[in-house]
Amino acid sequence: MPILFAVLHLLGILSLTCRASGSDSSVTTPITCTTRGADLTEEKQLVLCPPNCTLWRVSVFGSQVYAAVSSVCGAAVHQGVIRSSGGPVKVHKQQGRHNYLGSYSHGVQSQALSRWTSSFTVAQSVHVPQEVSSQIATTVLPASGPGLVKKTLKKPVKKISTGGNRDCQMEIALLLDSSNNIGQRRFNLQKNFISKLAVMLRIGPNGPHLGVVQASDTPRTEFLLTNYTQPKDVVFAIKGIAYLGGNTNTGKAIMHTVESFFQTGVRRGHPRVIVVFIDGWPSDDLEDAAVLARESGINVFLVPVAKPALEELGMVRDKDYMKKAVCKDNGYFTYAIPSWFGTTKHVKPLAQKLCSVDQLLCSKTCYNSVNLGFLIDGSSSVGEGNFRLILDFITSVARSFDISDIGSRVGAVQFTYDQRMEFNMYDYPVKEDALRALQGIPYMSGGTATGDAVAYATQNLFLARKAGPGRNFLIVVTDGQSYDDVRGPALAAQKEGITIYSVGVAWAPMDDLQTMASEPKDSHTFFTREFTGLQQFQQPLVRGICRDFTEAN
């Protein structure tokens, strides 16, 4: 077998080499199961994988983006581009990267890898008759027979189908109980229930995205958020999930979902929810995992099924596990089902609860739900070099948040005696663009009228971003004493629901800083003698904003 393995691998490389000179990317190149991404000669190439590659011990590293040392056909099966029967695959070479994530999908376990020099992605190949001109198609179709004509015409419709519930744009991880406690029969009922739930949620490219993780002795990712974006594909994938058995290590599975599952294919700014199904009770502790989830901006939603009877309570490790797992013990973040039998009536109510995005306060965290206004001192005493240090500081603060068109927003005003709107909350809905805009603010130079600047920001920066409590934050960075009154404008801003953080440098008087700052003054005021000391406030400032947001909501 090792000799046959080596021969097939060599034949695959030779086949690629023979086609490298003057080849057309539209020509399908046959390869072997062990052909690696590094063996391909073109940046974009259409290859043909043989059947039964899953029978070989193919090596795959990564998820969605694969290290070039991976088997191309193995990656294609893992991604769901082809099945065990093989088929054509589009391969696109990419640059190397760090932290390739391992995951289990479509019967293939990919491995994690810290770094590799080059990468590739795989995608489905478009059927040739769909790519030729309409004139050629009319000469070909009659010979295909009426049955194949209909089939060919239907394919493009499936390819371009879009949709999903636009009012439920969420990232959902379904965490299934695959323990000995549930057993094979109830496990199948659980799969049937979540299939109906996926359809009811109206999974789609513009709606909720859904993936599945199994809880057992060791957690296992079955498929990621972007593997399937149509209900029928999700249902098919769920049907193929195999029962594991073992302990109900739900806490370990939640930890895995936070640290691994939500690191790939997550849409920025969309609420993230782990829906945890528990048959009976968990074998391990949930509290630490739930705290990590909340701190990562992920809501834990529990669905207990067949809760322990009175005589079984002594076997439950932590009787308050549900209270500790959810963000608020108000009944909203749990949905109890008495039995796996007759669950159909619970599908719609659970879907409605999950899609009440504004109610999921653990998902709508400080990271993806706040409006950050930066009020930047551009006076002559700051100087060009120190002004750059201020911009570095506020950029590092903004980088901690999920900036997007449906997430957090950022705006900036520079002030001297006058005020200049650098950009408002709606100008840059893409995080990278907002960070570049902050870094690119030109230095003004002039006097220091901080009170007028606070009033200007209140009236202009937050005008279009009216929000609930703990959502609007103004971070004032100044290096000197204001020539005007700061108390009145600061109080007016706070009455409008704006929380003010004062950051002083060098000659900024503590009295002015604390007068502007929201209550409690000490936790909303920062001061350093040197501009180089600003970066030490980045984490305390972000934590303070998150604390204010959580307490207000």
User: What pLDDT, in 10s, does the model give residues 504-540?
Assistant: 999 999 999 999 999 999 999 999 999 999 999 999 9
Which of the pair, 71 or 326, is modelled with greater confidence? Answer: 71
Residues 403 and 495 reside in one and the same domain: yes
**pLDDT for position 198:** 94
Q: Are residues 308 and 457 in the same domain?
A: no
Domain assignment of residue 6, yes or no: no
Q: What pLDDT, on the 0 to 100 scale, is given for residue 106?
A: 82
Predicted pLDDT of residue 139: 30
Instruction: State mean pLDDT over 181-207.
Output: 93
The answer to whether residues 379 and 311 belong to one domain is no
* 461-506 confidence digits (pLDDT tens): 987 555 666 789 999 999 999 999 999 999 999 999 999 999 999 9
Q: At 380, which CATH number?
A: 3.40.50.410
Task: Measure the CA–CA gap between 535 and 75, rounded to whole angstroms.
Answer: 42
Same domain, 245 and 264: yes
- Hey, which of 124-133, 358-367, 385-394 has the most confident mean pLDDT? 385-394
pLDDT in tens, 335-357: 999 999 989 999 999 999 888 75
pTM assigned to the model: 0.50
The domain boundary residue, chosen from 324, 359, 394: 359
Residue 14 has pLDDT above 90, yes or no: no
Positive or negative torsion for Cα 378, 384, 387, 388: positive
- Considering only residues 438 and 404, tell me which one the structure prediction assigns the higher pLDDT: 438
Residue for token pair 């008087």: 509
**Do 191 and 332 have their domain in common?**
yes
In this prediction, what percent of the chain has a pLDDT beyond 70? 84
pLDDT band at 20 (very low <50, low <70, confident <90, very high): very low
- Domain total in the chain: 3
Angle between helices 384-399 and 538-552 (to 10 degrees): 40
In a domain, 131, yes or no: no
Q: What is the pLDDT of residue 26?
A: 59
pLDDT of residue 192 exceeding 70: yes
Cα separation of 252 and 278, whole Å? 13
- Based on the fold, state whether residues 295 and 333 are members of the same structural domain: yes
For residue 130, is it within any domain?
no
3-state DSSP assignment of residue 87? strand
The reply to whether 74 and 192 lie within a common domain is no
> What is the secondary structure of 88-122 as a DSSP string?
EEEEEEEEEEEEEPP-EETTEE-B-EEEEEEEEEE
Name the band, by pLDDT with cuts 50, 70 and 90, for residue 316: confident
pLDDT-derived band at 161, boundaries 50, 70, 90: very low
- Rounded distance, CA 52 to CA 96, Å? 29
Domain end, chosen from 359, 378, 394, is at 359
Containing domain of residue 528, as a range? 370-552
- Does residue 178 share a domain with residue 55? no
- pLDDT tens digits for range 32-58: 888 888 888 889 999 999 888 877 767
Q: What is the pLDDT of residues 255-274, one digit of tens each?
A: 999 988 988 788 876 888 99
Instruction: Report how far residue 473's alpha carbon sits from residue 397's, in angstroms, rounded to the nearest whole number.
Output: 12
Mean pLDDT, rounded, of the chain: 83
- Tell me how far apart the alpha carbons of residues 337 and 305 are, in angstroms, rounded to a whole number: 5
User: Are 532 and 400 in a shared domain?
Assistant: yes
Q: Within this chain, do residues 330 and 410 fall inside the same structural domain, yes or no?
A: no
105 and 200 both lie in a single domain: no
Distance CA 111, CA 121 (A): 16
Residue range 231-239: average pLDDT? Answer: 91
Specify the CATH number for the domain of residue 48: 2.170.130.20
Does one domain contain both 305 and 384? no
Select from 334, 359, 384 the last residue of a domain: 359
